Structures are given as C-alpha cells and as structure tokens.
Chains A and B, each alone.
Chain A
Amino acid sequence: MRLPYLARKVLQLVVLLFAVVAFNFLLFRVLPGDPIRLYARSGRLTPDVVAQLRAVFGLDKPVWEQFLIYLKGLLHGDLGFSYTYRRPVAQIVGERLVNTFVLLTAATILVTALGIVLGVWAASRRGSKVDSSTVISSLVTWSMPTFWTGMLLLFAFGVWFHVLPTSGISTPLATYSSPLGKVADVGRHLILPTITLVLVDIGQFVLITRSSLVDVLTEDFITTAKAKGMSKRRIVWGHAVRNGMLPVVTATALYVGIVVGGAIQVETVFSWPGMGELTYEAVLRRDYPVLEACFLLFAVTVIVANFLSDLLYRVLDPRVKEA
C-alpha cells in the first residue's frame, strides 16, 4: 500500500511541475512587449544588430524550440542567462534565495510555534477572558496590513527610538572582527522584518489551532480521558493537540507557499535583498529567464510544501492511509 501511494503522489508532483514550467514559459512570451527593444541601446539601431541580439539570447528560434532548449537546460540545472544582469540566472536567484530563506525560516518557525501554543492555550480556557482577548487580538493583528505594520515598526524602532537599523540585511561596508559579528549584525537587521511577519500572520494560526482544538476537546475520547482521571495537561497536549493538528499542518503548508511570494511586502519595506525585489525588477525589465526562475521557485515551494503536508497527514492521522 505504502509504495503505490508515494509513487502516485510523486507522479502527480512531476506532472504538476511540468505544467508549471510550460505555463510559466508561455505566460511571459504571450505578454506584449519585445525584450530586445529594451536591451538594444543604440539610438540608431539597424535590423542587423537587432537580429544579432536576438541570436545572442536565443530569441531568434521558434517558441517551441526555445522551450525545448529551456527544458533541456532545466534538466541540467541551468536556469538560463539573465537579459538584464548578463549573468547566469541560477547565480542571481541563489544569492537572493538565501536571504529570503533566512527571513522566512525565522518567521515561519515563530509564527507556527507561537501560534499553536497561543491557540492551544486559548482553546483549553474556552470562554475565559484569556480566550476572548486572544481571539480579539488575533483578529486585530490578522487584519493589519503588512506594509503599514512594517512602516510603523520601522518608524518607531528605526527612526524614533533609533535602536534598530531601518533597512537592508547588514550594515553597509561594515567589517567584522569575527564571523559572529556578522551573524549579530544580520540578526539585528532581521528583528523588525521578522516581528512584522509574525504580527500580521500569527492570528490565523492562533484561530485555526483554537477552533480545531475546541472541536476535538468536545469529543467522546476526551470525556473518556477525563473520566479516567488524566491530568488536563496530558489530555490537551497528549491527546487533543495531535488530533487537532491536521488543519494547522495544511495552513502551514499554504503559509510557506504564500510567504515565499507574500514576503515581497515586508522585503520592500525593509529593503531586504530577497526574492521579492528581484521579481519586481525582473518584471519591470522584462527579464524572462529571471522571471521564469522566480515563478518556478514559488511554484515548487507550494507544491513541495503541500506534498510534505500530505505525507505528514499520514503520520498524524493513520486513517488517511486508507484514503
């Protein structure tokens, strides 16, 4: 049973990825606008020179042939060559991906961990003041616009109190006496963007965890556990939470997907040199190869996160195996 299930999932994954690759490729080529018009820089362009430039970037070939070349490159780990930066796309995206990864890892761990703890806490005290104030404040922070929250924090701590840097990932031209110094510097720059993401995103996890757990806590096996004289802590954390985690796992998978693209707003406020800025510039500059790589990455993240959550489902809830 186990292998066919996995095999089926993997097959789905591959088909989905291919569809994404093909769609991305076509999407940017049906958009109006000729990139060569942007990249040829002479005021006196001749058709010869334009043709030459097309050939340099492989745009002289029919679209299907360009697609085959692109696919072949992808299979060899070659994401193409940037029209704007005139460097391999893998190199460009790699630099940015690391930065986005640092920000997102910090935010995702904090958001899910804190969200679950707060949600469980509220659910196990259902109807109390603690519960209602947690729900209300979750709704408030959840409805705060990311951009606005980031700006407020930035003005408060970056300009007014002047205790944290306003932007970037490290201090310009800083020299560090040790690698630890660099980590500390990046850490300081990481604080405000992370707090922003946690503030605006934690609400959904608190609420999902809470409502899922509230359901579980009314089920018969919980009553049985109570009747057996189990401690409240053991009932909640040992029995209820595991059962109530399914919606949270789904939400986390979706969150990782959204956040890779959705962190663009936070990256913009704090000038964090991540995927967001790269994607934005690539759209403006019609840099197809960079755009394709960015969108492919976003898609892969979503697909893989969902794939992992499917697998995790089976671990958390044995009933899924029969499905």
Chain B
Amino acid sequence: MTRLMRTDLTRRQFLTRVGGGTLVALTMPEILAACTGAGQTATSTASGSPGGPSAATLRIGWSSEPDTMNPLTSYSTEGVEVQQLIYDKLMDYDAQLKVIPGLAQSSEVSADGSEVTYHLRSGVKWHDGKPFSADDVVFTFSTIAAQASSQFAQWLAEMKDITAKGNDVVVTFSKPQAFDPALAIPILPKHIWQGMSNADVQKFANDTPVGTGPYTFGEWQRGQTVSVNRYEGYWGTPPGPASIVWVLFQNEDVMAQSMRAGEVDILTEVPPTIYDGLGGVAGLTQVSLPGFSFHHIGMNVSSAADSKGNPLLLDKSVRQALSYAVDRNQLVQIALAGHGKPGSVLLPPALGDYMLQIPVDQQINANPDKANQLLDAAGYTAPNAGGTRQTSNGTPLEFRLIAIESTTVDVRAAQLFRDAAAKVGIKLDLNTMDENTLGNVVYSTTDWDLFVWGWDSGVNDPDYLLGVPLTSQIGGNNDVYYSNKTYDNLYSQQASALEHTTRVDLTGQAQQLYYEDCAYIVMWYQDKLQAYRSDLWTGFADTPGGIVFNFTRANYTNARPV
C-alpha cells in the first residue's frame, strides 16, 4: 500500500491510502465473488492496427495527482510521468532500460573523461512549431546549474562549462561522470523560459508545457484527469496511443474495480491485498517486477558531541547483533505478504549487476545465536535469564524505535523487529507518527535511536542510493549521520569510473563496507505491483521497475490496442 515518490528528493517510501482500503477489506472478497464477470466495455475508440499509431486512448488509473507541470519544481512521481512524455532528454532508455539516443543522436567522451560532446538531431520542432536548437540545451543545463534547487541540479554539480558549437553541445566537467546527466534532464524551450528569475521559475506553474516529445499537453482537469495527445510532428517513431489519459482515484479498491468494469486500462500501483485479488480475472494481466527501492531500519550513529541518540548504537557489535536478530525472509513473508525480496545491501535488484550479492553464509541475518555471541563477547549481560542486557555499569540496551503509522508494512515490520530484538536481550520501545513528523525528527534533530523508512532511487544508476550515506550528505540525505572516509572515497571513485566492470567492483566494495557497518538494516526490496487490461492493450515489456512509473516512457509509446 505504499506509494513510491520516485522523484522525491527525500525519495521516501511515501504514505499509504489506508483510509478506505482497510475498512472495506473484510467485505471485499464476498463482493468480488459476486462481481466476477462484470460487464466489460472495450475502449470505444480502439481501432488501430498493431504495429502502427492507433486511434485509441490509453487510460491509466492512479491514486495521486501531479503537483505542477514545471520540471524544475515538480517532485511528484505523477508530475514526472506526464512530463517525460512531453519533454525529451538528450539520451533516453528503451523498454529494457538500455540507453538509446534522444535529442542527441550520439555523444562522445574525451580521453580524460571530463568533456562530453552531444551531437544533436536536426530538424526537431517544439510543439509550438519553433525550431529546436543547441541553444535550448545550453539554456536548460545552465539554468538548472544556476538555480541549484531542482532535482536535476545534483547531476550538474560538477559542470564547469557548456557551449554550443553548431549542432553540437560540449559540456565540461571538473571530473569524469559515470552517470550521464543527459539521461535525467528534460530539455526546456529557451524561447518560453528565458528571462525568468529564480523566483519566477519557483512560482511558474507551467500550465501548458511545450516540449519536443512524442505527446503534446492536452488538458488537466484538477482533481480528475490529465491528458496528452500524440504530437504529429514528433522526430521519432510515432507512438501507439493517440491520447493518454490519467484518471485520479481517491480509493484503491474503487480503482481496481474500475479496471474490471473497463473504465481504465493500467493501474500504476496496486497494493498487495488488491493485487492478489486480481489473480485469475479474465482479460487482466498482473505485473510484478523488481523495484528500485528498499525499506530499512536506520540507526543513529551520529558521533557529534551534542548528539541525543543513544551512544550504545555507536558500538558496531550492538548494531550487528540487531541485524543478526531479525529474519528478513520473515519480514517479507509477513509484513509484505511475500511481494518482495529479503534485503541486504544498499542497491536494489532492479539495478542489475551493480547490486552486490552477499552469499547466504556471510549474511548478517536471521542468526540470533550469533547475535547473542556478539553481545556476550562485548560484555553486555542480562541480570536474569531472558531479561534486557546491560553494560558493565548497568545501562540497559534499550532503544527508541519510530515508524510511520500510515505505512502499515513498516509498522508490522517494526513490531517483528522489536520482538526479534527482545529475544536477544535488546529492548525496543516502538512509537508511530506521521511521515512529516518522523522526517523532522530524523533530519532536524539527533534525538532518536532507530527508525523504519525507505528509499527509492531517483535514477537508473547506483549513484543516487550510494550517495545517501556520504559524510557530505549529513544535513542532506544522510539520515543516520553515518561518516566513513573509506566509504566516501569509494563513492567518489565509482562516480568517476567510466569502465563498467571497474565501477561494479567499486560499488560492490562500498556496499560491502556499509553492509558490515550496519547503520542500515535493509529489510526488503519490494516488488512493483501493477496490472493492465491485456484483452485491450499489448506491447508492454517486463521493464525492471514497472511498465509505468519508471525511468522509461517506452511502454507508453509501444502500447498497441489488441
């Protein structure tokens, strides 16, 4: 039931919409049983032939609305989802998340790796008919770098210079960039955006976005629908659906029922309970794909003199004992109803070979005996059998644990974790609060010991998640105040490693180090659960991260009516 805020700076596994879902959960199976074989209304306009542009409208159900259409201030997954069909990037991903040309036909990296030349496509026109040129690219990159507050700014933090040379754009960085910013940054039309001050950009809603992408902006009826229409002047292969409309549902049960009733074709995110209920329904295909996110238990390892966290967590053997105490497989089965993989390292499975595989016998997981040994060896003993362990001067191993009350999977996991810790003599006091309050406690104070939360990678690259525990991110994304020079060095080496195998090796070392330090207990990598009407639409690939709400728009453009 969690909502992924893919583009959220804090990349947090966001709230749930339990308000209704849980209330009706009990009555749902009976009603569902009565409703099987509900009338199916085909898309009224479906008439296109497979393989070419069709006249059909693809209808997607989602449970939250975009914030704005301004890519420089928008942070909702929904906003980015619409914008990525309207705006092009210099480089893009195909349905397998392989890099393909976008507005740049090709690019070259200089021998020392610091200079990148993008060869731009010619003859591209903006949706308003004005010609696209290298100036637009220079303008976009420069604006983002100068503005420094958008989600894209971090990819240009090391940009030294950018110039247009005819139909080429040359970008100079202070050091080689393993992640190509061209894969993340939407190119904006200079003729519309120029002359705006930073404050103007912040207040610009961009109600009628103009891009070069395969779809032009249609209409946004607030609280109801957002639509886009095929751009006939698009430079690439004409996309399948003539129009795409996203329909807002405030209740996920109703959303699932609407798909059965034929009112929508794709569901962006399906809660596990509803997902299981869609099994075996004629005409529907369930999609379960590895995700780019994880949920974790964070431990306050702040070494600051004024830290209000429990200093006992600075002892690595306590942290490792906590990690050994909990069984991640049990967490997945019970808290997540089996829809995920047990957690280990910082990088989730969707990142492919970047994810370090830890052999089972080396995992710091599900081994209470080992936890007891570690604690015994470190001199924490319980005054009576089964009691809470203490230090030699009598301080008990007792910590505060906080979780987000509306994220039911996290609360369930926190309860399991608390019980597991008690079995090895560590007492945890569980408290729940709303997401903003928890964020404020964790980020703005050090007055906490352990929390449960999650991360979602903002890009199809290890850089984002690996960057979380950096010393320089204390006060930023580093939520556990972890600081380790070796880790920082490994991160910065991988960020400049252009050779894939070298980078895999470096990211592996960084993951191993962080895994053993146990400032995070990565609990699980949840699967992306979606569903679509396979009796009406085809052309979707099993893209890691999901058919929609992903880094690629290919599943939209490849969609064809059956």
Contacts and interface: CB of A to CB of B under 8 A. Distances in A.
Interface string A252-294: 0000000000000001111101101110110011100000000
Given A155-B31, A160-B35, A273-B222, A166 B261 contact: yes
B39 A162 contact: yes
B222 A42 contact: no
B404 to A, nearest CB: 12
B59 to A, nearest CB: 7
A271 B251 contact: yes
A274 B34 CA distance: 31
A268 B222 contact: no
A281 B64 contact: yes
Nearest to B70: A86
Contacts of B261: 158-159, 162, 166
Interface stretch (B135-143, B242-250, B311-319, B518-526): B242-250
B192 interface: no
B67 A84 contact: yes
Interface stretch (A44-52, A134-142, A202-210, A308-316): A44-52
A321 interface: no
Interface stretch (A29-37, A102-110, A117-125, A298-306): A29-37
B352 interface: no
A148 B24 contact: yes
A44 B157 CA distance: 8
Interface in A45-84: 45-46, 48-49, 52-53, 55-56, 81, 84
A172 B62 CA distance: 14
Interface stretch (B147-155, B323-331, B382-390): B147-155
Interface stretch (A18-26, A92-100, A211-219): A92-100
A170 B219 CA distance: 14
A99 B223 contact: yes
Interface residue tally of chain B, by bracket?
A: 35 or more
Interface string B261-277: 10100000000000000
A182 to B, nearest CB: 12
Given A33-B437, A55-B199, A271-B224, 16 more contacts: A39-B75, A42-B149, A43-B464, A43-B476, A52-B149, A96-B223, A151-B20, A151-B254, A152-B31, A154-B257, A155-B35, A167-B263, A173-B245, A273-B221, A274-B223, A286-B436
A274 B458 CA distance: 32
B224 A172 contact: yes
A277 B64 CA distance: 10
Contacts of B257: 154-155, 158-159, 166
Interface of A: 31-34, 37-46, 48-49, 52-53, 55-56, 81, 84-87, 92, 95-96, 99, 145, 147-148, 151-152, 154-155, 158-160, 162, 165-170, 172-173, 267-271, 273-274, 276-278, 280-281, 284-286
Nearest to A151: B24
A271 B263 CA distance: 13
Nearest to A165: B263
Contacts of A274: 223
Contacts of B474: none
Contacts of B7: 41
Contacts of B437: 32-33
A166 B67 contact: no
Contacts of A285: 67
B493 interface: no
Contact of A42 (B150, B253, B254): B150
A56 B198 CA distance: 9
A165 to B, nearest CB: 8
B250 A32 contact: no
A38 B436 CA distance: 9
Interface string B522-533: 000000000000
8 contacts: A37-B439, A37-B443, A38-B10, A43-B467, A85-B68, A86-B203, A151-B27, A162-B261
